[in-house]
Amino acid sequence: MERRTRVRFAPSPTGPLHIGGVRTALYNYLYAKQKGGDFIIRIEDTDSHRFVEGAEKYIIDSLNWCGIKADEGVDENGKVVETPSERHPHAPYRQSQRKGIYKKYADQLVAAGYAYYAFDTPEELEKARAEVETKGETFIYNQLTRKTLRNSLTVSKEECDKLILERTDWTIRFKMPEDTVVKMDDLIRGHIEVNTDTLDDKVLWKRNDELPTYHLANIVDDHLMEITEVIRGEEWLPSLPLHYLLYKAFGWEDTMPRFAHLPLLLKPDGKGKLSKRDGDKLGFPVFPLKWVNAQGEVSRGYREDGYFPEAFVNMLAMLGWNPGDDREMFTIDELVDAFSLERVLKAGARFNPDKAKWYNKEYLRMKSDKELTDLFVPILEQHGLQIVECAKCALVAGSEISVQGADFTNHIFTVGYVEKVVSLIKERADFVKDFWDIAPYLFISPDEFAAFGVKAGAFSEKSQAARPVDPRAKVYDDSLTAPFLAKDVDKFWKKENYELAFKAADFVRSYTGDFSKEAFESALEEYIKSNEWPLGKVMNCMRMALAGASSGLGIADIVTFIGKKEVAKRMEFIKGKLI
């Protein structure tokens, strides 16, 4: 009979979950949902020494942000699940809280001859290791060496019993069979065979802290929780033979889960697997959420960097898996439908920050203006602007909100104004947080840039590189002077061009026609051309005056947004600044 699909994500709370871990959780989730089964979160905290405060909460928060919801596990709506219930029949899901259940399984293995007591102290083992290493070999606790070490196989029954009672630092080790070929099947890698002579006698139980090691706890819990597929990182592949043998030793072969070992996420330069330190070094986050460690060191997170969770999840899903065709945009529900372990790749994938950014851009464009506005408003408020629902809602006495919805004097804007700005600039942005940098001049006048911490000259990243400042280009005071190339100064930023721009501004002031962008744009261009002025030069000087930058939105856009009054004000300002 087919068993109900049950998979688990079983992280260890030793620090923040990096994106490789998130992907493992994601694939587990996708698999479970596609099969109509359960996705379980279990916390493997059997190493008390490496426990990190807050890590478990971080893991849960991260998965929630990604939209990866567990059917069963440690957490329910922010509360730790302590006792079994209908929804969480196997609670608790923290191995430290389950410590009472593992010992009997370890004992069972000893009784059946699959495991034995080992009395070697860590110091003794360390010494044995060091000794062998001087000969250039590696010490392995296995069928060859266990005969020379102190354990229940080499000491008498009486002494063994005595040591078990007296000492508190013994362990139970798995007795790896000799010269046996373990035949395994992996859902991703196919058939694998390993000879047990290359394996060691792993510790299963630690007397000193009364806890099992990963290997024992993992097998016991997967069995008790009726896990049907174990989907985990490739770093576990070398311990797969041990896990197979453990299932066999327990007599649980019939219900042994199937295994799938996922390829690792590699650094962008291809050297080694992605690790926690890489992010800040390589300039992109390796964590879903921001993390501050005990030393106060901050690691960036995708959420804080402005990524949409949908984009992050989509990007992550495509690293090591593909649907078999050219599609690459997937919602998490679409991923559930399309996912299959058969199409997961064997080779490790290098993480590509550019593609992550591209995904975010694509998702940003799919969002409605309303949604983006809601995200942008708090940023504007942080910059000291007041955003109001309607023109009459302004709290400042005497504020005059224009028909467009802007009061530049009192820094008040209507939501409608913000939404129109968003609609105009969203295609130029990768992130919502870019909105402000793209067009600050739609909210504040260039004469206030310094007060608002805005850098004049909104150059693209590319053209920003090392531009020498030409003194003749100084139209604002030093703090606001954008760096110009000398050839551009001769081409655009001459006083005579500004004179023409002022005349064009006079035309704007007297313009009484349709003030929509299209109508106004053609009227302005027609006016400039009819006077036989150089269109590009006049327009650029206007932009410098109105936007405080040599590049940016179209003049007609800027003018119709800020309004005639503000145009006149900004023109007057720059007049006094020209040298």
Q: Tell me which of 29, 214, 413, 484 binds RNA, using CB under 7 A.
A: 214
Among the listed residues 103, 119, 32, 105, the one whose alpha carbon sits nearest the alpha carbon of residue 70: 32
362: phi then psi, degrees, rounded to nearest 5: -60, -45
Which region holds residue 320: left if phi is over 0, alpha if psi is between -120 and 50, else beta?
Answer: left
Pairing of strands 181-186, 171-174: unpaired
**Residue closest to 388 by CA, chosen among 362, 415, 410:** 415
What are 195's strand-pairing partners? 181
Q: Footprint of RNA on residues 314-353 (CB under 7 A)?
A: 318-322, 324-326, 328, 343, 345-350, 352
CB nearer to RNA: pick between 216 and 412: 216
State the minimum distance, in angstroms, from the CB of residue 409 to RNA. Answer: 26
Q: Which of 131, 159, 161, 169 binds RNA (CB under 7 A)?
A: 169
If DSSP codes are grouped into helix, strand and coil, which group holds residue 233? strand
Residue closer to RNA (CB basis): 400 or 470: 470
State which of positions 110-139 bind RNA (CB under 7 A): 120-122, 125, 129, 138-139
How far apart CA 255 and CA 546 sit, in angstroms, is 72
Decide whether 200 or 447 has the Cβ nearer to RNA: 200
Q: Could you tell me how many residues of this chain bind RNA (CB under 7 A)?
A: 90
Q: How far apart are alpha carbons 379 and 372 in whole angstroms?
A: 11
Site string for RNA, 512-541 (x = CB under 7 A): ---------x---x---------xx--xx-
Closer residue to RNA (CB): 3 or 281: 281
Q: Kindly tell me which of 151 and 404 has the beta carbon lying closer to RNA.
A: 151
Q: Which is nearer to RNA, 352 or 386 (CB)?
A: 352
* Sequence letter at residue 345: L
- Rule CB under 7 A: is residue 414 a binding residue for RNA? no
The DSSP bridge partners found for residue 40 are 8, 72
- Is the Cβ of residue 32 or residue 199 nearer to RNA in the bound state? 199
Distances (CA, A) of 357 to 330, 431, 479, 552: 16, 8, 31, 21
**Can you tell me which of 504, 555, 567, 571 binds RNA, judged by CB under 7 A?**
555
Contact mark string toward RNA, 28..67, x via CB under 7 A = ----------------x-xx-xx-----------------
Q: Positive or negative, the Cα torsion across 311, 313, 319, 324?
A: negative
How many Cβ atoms from other residues are within 10 Å of residue 365's Cβ? 11
Q: How far is the CB of 109 from RNA (least distance, A)?
A: 16
Is residue 171 within 8 A of residue 151, CB to CB? The reply is no
* 222 touches RNA by CB under 7 A: no
Number of helical (H) and strand (E) elements in the chain, helices listed first: 20, 20
Question: How far is the C-alpha of 562 from the C-alpha of 569, rounded, in Å?
Answer: 11
The residues in 232-251 that bind RNA, with binding defined as CB under 7 A, are 234-239
Q: How far is the CB of 574 from RNA (least distance, A)?
A: 16
The site map against RNA for 252-281 (x = CB under 7 A) is ------------x-x-x-xxxx--------
Q: Which 178-197 positions form the footprint of RNA (CB under 7 A)?
A: 189-190, 192, 194-195
| Shorter beta-carbon distance to RNA: residue 288 or 414 | 288
Tell me if 289 sits within 8 A of 301, measured CB to CB. Answer: yes
Nearest distance in Å: CB 349, RNA: 4
Using CA atoms, how far apart are residues 426 and 361, in angstroms rounded to an integer? 9
- Residue 12 binding RNA, by CB under 7 A: yes
Q: Which C-beta is closer to RNA: that of 87 or that of 147? A: 147
Query: Least distance to RNA from the beta carbon of 373, Å?
Result: 19
Residues 453-512 that bind RNA (CB under 7 A): 459-460, 462-463
Rg of the Cα trace of the chain? 33
Q: Of these, 38, 56, 72, 200, which contacts RNA (CB under 7 A)? A: 200
Residues facing residue 232 across a β-bridge: 261
Exposure letters 383-396 (e unless 16+ CB within 10 A, then b): eebbbbeebeebee
Phi-psi region of 141 (alpha: psi -120 to 50; beta: other; left: phi over 0): beta
Query: Which range, of 376-384, 495-503, 544-552, 570-578, touches RNA by CB under 7 A?
Result: 544-552
Shortest Cβ distance from residue 535 to RNA (Å)? 5
Residue keyed to tokens 């005579």: 496
